[in-house]
Amino acid sequence: MLGIIGGTGLGEALFGEAFGEEHVIDTPFGAPSSPVRVLSWGDTKVAVLARHGDGHTLQPSHVPYRANIFALKKLGVTQLLVSGAVGSLREEIRPRDLVVVDQLIDRTYRRIPTFFDESMAVHAEFAEPYCPWLRERVLAASSSAIDAKVHERGTYVCIEGPEFSTVAEARMHRALGADIVGMTALPEARLAREAEMCCALVAIATDYDCWRPHPRGTTKQTLLAEIIGHVKAATENAVSVLRRTISDLANRPPDVCACSSALELAIWTRRDRIDPRAIAHYGPLVDKYLGPK
Q: Which residues are catalytic?
A: 207, 209
* φ, ψ of residue 188 in degrees (nearest 5): -50, -50
Residue 76, number of CB atoms within 10 A of its CB: 13
Alpha carbon distance 46, 77 (integer Å): 8
Q: Give the distance between the most distant pair of CA atoms in the chain.
A: 69
Does the annotation flag 197 for ligand binding? Answer: no
Does the annotation flag 222 for ligand binding? Answer: no
8-state DSSP, 122: B
For Cα atoms 156, 157, 161, give the angle at the middle one, nearest 5 degrees: 125
* φ, ψ of residue 206 in degrees (nearest 5): -100, -25
Residues 6+ apart with CB under 8 A from 36: 22, 23, 25, 47, 48, 49, 71, 72, 75
Does the annotation flag 184 for ligand binding? Answer: yes
On whether the CB atoms of residues 204 and 238 are closer than 8 A, the answer is yes
Helix axes 132-145, 220-251, angle to 10 degrees: 110
Q: Pairing relation of β-strands 44-50 and 2-6?
A: parallel
Does the annotation flag 172 for ligand binding? Answer: no
Does the annotation flag 8 for ligand binding? Answer: yes
Does the annotation flag 44 for ligand binding? Answer: no
Query: 252-284: string of b/e by CB count within 10 Å (b at 16+)?
Result: eebeebebbebbeebbeeeeeebeeeebeebee
* DSSP-assigned beta bridge partners for residue 84: 203
8-state DSSP, 274: S
Q: Known binding site: residues?
A: 8, 51-52, 183-184, 207-209
Q: Known binding site for phosphate: residues?
A: 8, 51-52, 184
